[in-house]
């Protein structure tokens, strides 16, 4: 089974492809290219760390459940914006719209994700194959699964946190750490951060497993996209 894990990065998207026990990583400028490359590789699943199904009002249940699972790492899950935010032209406008629709303003971190949310949303709405292939996931849930159900307490921005995550990835196959090192050596940190590489690898590491979703029977948004997050192996 060939599977792909994808994370956003300053240069666009970093995609980790896992074919059996071999990992390869590529950087793509846009998400449509990510999907095309995964299709060419005959991938059966692509997990991406970006909100997909978006609420009209209120907060997504999947975000609340993901935060519950992550405990002390709950803050790594940003609440997805409402769909109307995709039409906003500034953070202030987006926050006002989100507060009107959901009762909550929009953090600057969530606003910074909006261009990539728009990009993925456009691809999924236009491409039936992408809708079949792509699922929303979260790296910290993936690392939690790799760690046997316990969240990784140390931040991935710390040396301790990076090393712990590298150990968990290396336990899946010896090629994971080599793929990480190759990618770090051939890219600039202003284009691809270390965290981006680890996150993409974590999603590829769990994507070939039998996966659960949260919630188990997810609702769909106004355009038919599921409001769910892959929670890791069952």
Q: pLDDT tens digits for 82-106?
A: 999 999 999 999 999 999 999 999 9
pLDDT at 147 over 70: yes
Classify residue 27: in a domain, yes or no: yes
Q: What is the dihedral of CA 53, 137, 9, 127, to 10 degrees?
A: -50
Q: Return the H-helix or E-strand segment holding 196.
A: helix 194-207
Q: Are 27 and 15 members of one domain?
A: yes
Mean pLDDT of the chain: 95
Q: Are 75 and 178 members of one domain?
A: no
Percent of the chain with pLDDT strictly greater than 90: 93
What is the pTM for the complete model shown?
A: 0.96
Closest CA to 141 of 62, 79, 222, 83: 62
Classify residue 90: in a domain, yes or no: yes
> Mean pLDDT, to the nearest integer, of 162-179?
94
How much is the pLDDT for 99? 97
Structural domains of the chain, count: 2
Domain span including residue 100: 53-115
Q: Return the H-helix or E-strand segment holding 50.
A: none
pLDDT at 233 over 80: no
Classify residue 215: in a domain, yes or no: no
How many CB atoms are located within 10 Å of the residue 185 CB?
Answer: 7
């Amino acid at each position: 089974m060939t599977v792909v894990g994808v994370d956003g990065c300053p240069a666009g998207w970093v995609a980790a492809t896992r074919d059996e026990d071999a990992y390869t990583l590529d950087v793509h400028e846009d998400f449509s290219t990510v999907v095309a490359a995964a299709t060419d590789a005959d991938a059966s699943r692509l997990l991406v760390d970006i909100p997909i199904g978006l609420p009209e009002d209120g907060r997504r249940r999947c975000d609340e459940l993901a935060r519950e699972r992550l405990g002390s790492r709950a803050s790594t899950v940003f609440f997805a914006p409402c769909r109307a935010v995709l039409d906003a032209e500034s953070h202030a406008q987006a926050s006002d719209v989100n507060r009107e629709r959901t009762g909550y303003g929009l953090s600057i971190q969530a606003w910074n994700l909006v261009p990539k949310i728009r990009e993925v949303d456009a691809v999924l709405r236009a491409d039936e194959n992408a809708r079949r292939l792509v699922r929303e996931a979260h790296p910290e849930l993936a690392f939690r699964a790799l760690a046997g159900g316990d969240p990784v307490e140390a931040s991935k921005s710390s040396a301790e946190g990076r090393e712990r995550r590298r150990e968990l990835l290396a336990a899946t196959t010896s090629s994971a750490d080599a793929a990480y090192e190759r990618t770090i050596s051939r890219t600039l940190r202003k284009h691809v951060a270390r965290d981006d590489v680890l996150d993409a690898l974590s999603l590829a590491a769990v994507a070939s497993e039998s996966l659960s979703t949260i919630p188990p029977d997810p609702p769909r948004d106004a355009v038919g996209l599921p409001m769910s997050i892959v929670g890791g192996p069952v």
